[in-house]
């Protein structure tokens, strides 16, 4: 369908020049970001989404005659080619390159949307929806990048319960900190809220100033109250956006996933990391199904957001998990129920280094 201008003819060429310039700018910016996702992040899922954005932009603008756009193009008369700022040519690293081009995409799509309105409200509306998708994609790329950096070498994630007493719980936390465990999640559904808050505050105090981060399970309200480093939610808990509304943007948010579509969605929703499983039968939790190693392989091939394999993992099957492409694991009884939890934790840390 060709666009039928409804504006005075003397403005047609100017409008087409604006459409041409911004279509090129948006597509070019999308391609630069795609190269970053592909070669720096190595993320198949986000690469495919980014490529789809480019293709959809081309499809939306198919109604604008390429011949008309080329005929209206007048680069040598474009005053913008003579205007530049020193910051345009300064990029600290490849992350800066990707961020600058993401902004270029968003701004170009907005210009396209506005200047297409005199030509076709329908096409302008489709560009608007594409712009919203670009915003979501940009967030997913940025969070994947920053989450990789924030979690860095954090390969061992230990889930602990509330213990038989506050003193016993504190002793367990101290063992995890001494061993150098990078992430400790408080998962104690048997405790009432007051007991849970007491355990959480104990965990916070004993990990403050150490390399061990405190993750609260399921309860963003208590995570905020007790100054946790993060909160982890399941598929039946609050959505990531709802969690963010409670804890803000600085706290880590993790999501349990049991299928590849769920893992993909968690990336788009804005999670900082995902738990993937259950991999094997567990002594601490019962499950109706086990996605297993095949699920881990699928995630490792597609997704570069930090991902922890979970469910029945111990030192006897750790190598199979690693062979699936996972370097990060979440464990409970393999460490907490070991004869010497500190030794077990150190063995896991060494094996995943």
| Catalytic residue IDs | 187, 256, 285
CB atoms within 10 A of CB 21: 20
Burial (CB count <10 Å: 0-12, 13-18, 19+), residue 155: buried
3-state secondary structure the chain: CCCCCCCCHHHHHHHHHHHHHHHHHHHHHHHHHHHHHHHHHCCHHHHHHHHHHHHHHHHHHHHCCHHHHHHHCCHHHCHHHHCCCHHHHCCCCHHHHHHHHHHHHHHHHHHHHHHHCCCCHHHHHHHHHHHHHHHHHHHHHHHHHHHHHHHCCCCEEEEECCCCCHHHHHHHHHHHHHHCCCEEEECCCCCCHHHHHHHHHHHHHHHCCCCCEEEEECCHHHHHHCCCCEEEECCCCCCHHHHHHHHCCCCEEEEEECCHHHHHHHHHHCCCEEEECCCCCCCCCCCCCCCHHHHHHHHHHHCCCCEEEECCCCCCCHHHHHHCCCCEEEECHHHHCCCCHHHHHHHHHHHCC
Six-digit token pair at 244?
Answer: 């963010």
d(CA 157, CA 181): 7
């Amino acid at each position: 369908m060709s666009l039928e201008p409804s504006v005075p003819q003397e403005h047609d060429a100017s409008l087409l020049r604006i459409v041409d310039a911004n279509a090129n700018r948006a597509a070019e910016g999308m391609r630069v970001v795609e190269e970053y996702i592909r070669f720096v992040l190595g993320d198949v899922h986000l690469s495919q989404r980014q490529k789809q954005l480019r293709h959809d932009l081309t499809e939306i603008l198919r109604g604008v005659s390429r011949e008309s756009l080329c005929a209206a193009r007048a680069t040598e008369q474009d005053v913008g080619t003579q205007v530049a700022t020193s910051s345009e040519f300064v990029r600290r690293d490849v992350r800066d390159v990707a961020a600058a081009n993401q902004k270029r995409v968003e701004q170009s799509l907005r210009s396209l949307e506005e200047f297409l309105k005199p030509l076709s409200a329908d096409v302008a509306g489709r560009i608007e929806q594409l712009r919203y998708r670009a915003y979501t994609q940009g967030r997913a790329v940025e969070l994947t990048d920053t989450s990789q950096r924030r979690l860095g070498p954090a390969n061992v994630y230990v889930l602990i319960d509330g213990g038989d007493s506050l003193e016993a719980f504190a002793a367990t936390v101290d063992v995890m900190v001494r061993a150098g465990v990078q992430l400790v999640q408080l998962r104690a559904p048997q405790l009432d809220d007051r007991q849970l808050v007491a355990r959480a505050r104990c965990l916070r105090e004993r990990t403050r100033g150490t390399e061990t981060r405190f993750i609260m399970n399921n309860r963003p309200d208590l995570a905020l109250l007790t100054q946790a480093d993060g909160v982890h939610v399941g598929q039946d808990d609050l959505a990531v956006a709802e969690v963010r509304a409670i804890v803000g943007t600085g706290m880590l948010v993790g999501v349990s996933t049991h299928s590849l579509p769920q893992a993909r969605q968690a990336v788009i929703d804005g999670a900082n990391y995902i738990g993937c499983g259950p991999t094997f039968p567990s002594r601490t939790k019962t499950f109706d199904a086990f996605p297993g190693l095949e699920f881990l392989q699928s995630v490792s091939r597609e997704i570069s957001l930090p991902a922890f394999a979970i469910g029945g993992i111990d030192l006897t099957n750790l190598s199979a998990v690693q062979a699936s492409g996972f370097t990060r694991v979440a464990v409970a009884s393999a460490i907490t129920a070991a004869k010497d939890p500190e030794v077990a934790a150190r063995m896991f840390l060494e094996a995943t280094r």
